[in-house]
């Protein structure tokens, strides 16, 4: 197993490809405190020091790209953004691999989060990354009460399992398979609140 110093940089895969059917409009573009929701999430990842940051687009990709203008991020396109989450995650991981090959800087881990996770903060992301650098666990898992959810940090040695997995959730089956080896990070339950419906968004902006 690689030592922390051998593992390399920690990047991010931000999933922002969905069609937001329950919202009725592209929620990634809805304003939160004066900026598009997806821009807030990407900016948080950058502020946490994650690099490279890959944003997976699918639905209205040009509008999402435009919303992220000026931010230091790379884009991946999901070929099946209406299908299971795994399609977007696979696209993001492959783009991290390409970023590694392009500049010669080894990307040793991927922090996976959703583009609408507006309650996740840069200190939360830094805590996962700092723990990954200091320890030898294959993954860092966020826990909200009894719920395991993103952000999730997967060391490179787990990427083949993620790429072989298909389904919903951000690598849920891989997390379950390695839960006993994971480092857990406990966060307040309200940090996990979804923004999936107009009522959710109204509650967020009220």
Pure H helices in the chain: 4-7, 37-47, 61-67, 85-103, 122-134, 159-164, 172-177, 198-205
CA 92 to CA 178: how far, in whole Å? 21
Backbone angles phi, psi at 84, to 5 degrees: -65, 155
| Helix, strand, coil share (%) of the chain residues, nearest 5 | 40, 25, 35
Backbone angles phi, psi at 170, to 5 degrees: -95, 70
Instruction: Domain 8-205: give its CATH code.
Output: 3.90.550.10
Residue pLDDT, tens place only, 149-158: 999 999 999 9
CA 120 to CA 20: how far, in whole Å? 20
Bridging pattern class, strands 183-186 and 147-155: unpaired
Count CB atoms within 10 A of the CB of residue 185: 17
CA 169 to CA 99: how far, in whole Å? 24
pLDDT at 22: 82
Predicted TM-score (pTM) of the model is 0.93
- Summary mean pLDDT of the chain: 91
Handedness of CA 56, 150, 130, 36 (dihedral sign): positive
Residue pLDDT, tens place only, 33-57: 999 999 999 999 999 999 999 999 9
Asked if 185 and 142 touch (Cβ cutoff 8 Å), the reply is yes
Residue pLDDT, tens place only, 100-127: 655 666 899 999 999 999 999 999 999 9
Which of 47, 15, 191 minimizes the C-alpha distance to 123?
47
């Amino acid at each position: 197993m690689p030592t922390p110093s051998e593992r390399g940089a920690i990047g991010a895969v931000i999933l922002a490809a969905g069609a937001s059917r329950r919202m009725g409009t592209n929620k990634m573009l809805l304003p939160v405190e004066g900026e598009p929701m997806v821009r807030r999430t990407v900016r948080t990842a950058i502020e946490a020091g994650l690099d490279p940051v890959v944003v997976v687009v699918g639905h209205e990709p040009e509008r999402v790209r435009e919303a992220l203008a000026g931010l230091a991020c790379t884009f991946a396109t999901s070929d099946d953004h209406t299908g299971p989450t795994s399609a977007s995650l696979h696209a993001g991981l492959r783009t991290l691999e390409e970023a590694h090959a392009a500049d010669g800087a080894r990307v040793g881990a991927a922090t996976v989060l959703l583009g609408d996770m507006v309650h996740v903060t840069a200190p939360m992301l830094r805590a996962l990354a700092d723990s990954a650098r200091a320890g030898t666990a294959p993954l860092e898992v966020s826990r909200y009460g009894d719920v395991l959810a993103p952000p999730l940090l997967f060391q490179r040695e787990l990427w083949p399992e993620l790429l072989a997995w298909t389904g919903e959730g951000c690598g849920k089956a891989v997390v379950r398979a390695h839960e006993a080896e994971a480092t857990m990070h406990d966060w307040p339950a309200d940090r996990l609140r979804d923004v999936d419906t107009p009522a959710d968004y109204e509650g967020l902006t009220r």
